[in-house]
Amino acid sequence: MSGNVPTELMQVDMIASGYEWVCPECETYNREIGITEQIRCAKCNQEFEVKEAHHAYN
């Protein structure tokens, strides 16, 4: 029988774009791969506690 859906499809990795936040100290735009309880600004090295995670499309 022809026209069947192939049983073996190529696989891809889904990569989330990460989480974005702006440092309240120096207003540097930061991006995190995942959510942790504490984050650190890449520029001023200030640590912050993550209050809540939002999805951009919410």
Binding site for Zn ion (CB under 5 A): 23, 25-26, 28, 41, 43-44
Cα–Cα distance measured from residue 50 to residue 48, given in angstroms and rounded to the nearest whole number = 6
The nearer residue to Zn ion, 28 or 32, going by C-beta atoms, is 28
In angstroms, give the least distance from the CB of 17 to Zn ion. Answer: 21
The nearer residue to Zn ion, 19 or 23, going by C-beta atoms, is 23
Is residue 49 a contact partner of residue 42, using CB atoms and an 8 Å limit? no
Q: Report the DSSP beta bridge partners of residue 50.
A: none
The nearer residue to Zn ion, 22 or 58, going by C-beta atoms, is 22
The 8-class DSSP code of residue 36 comes to: -
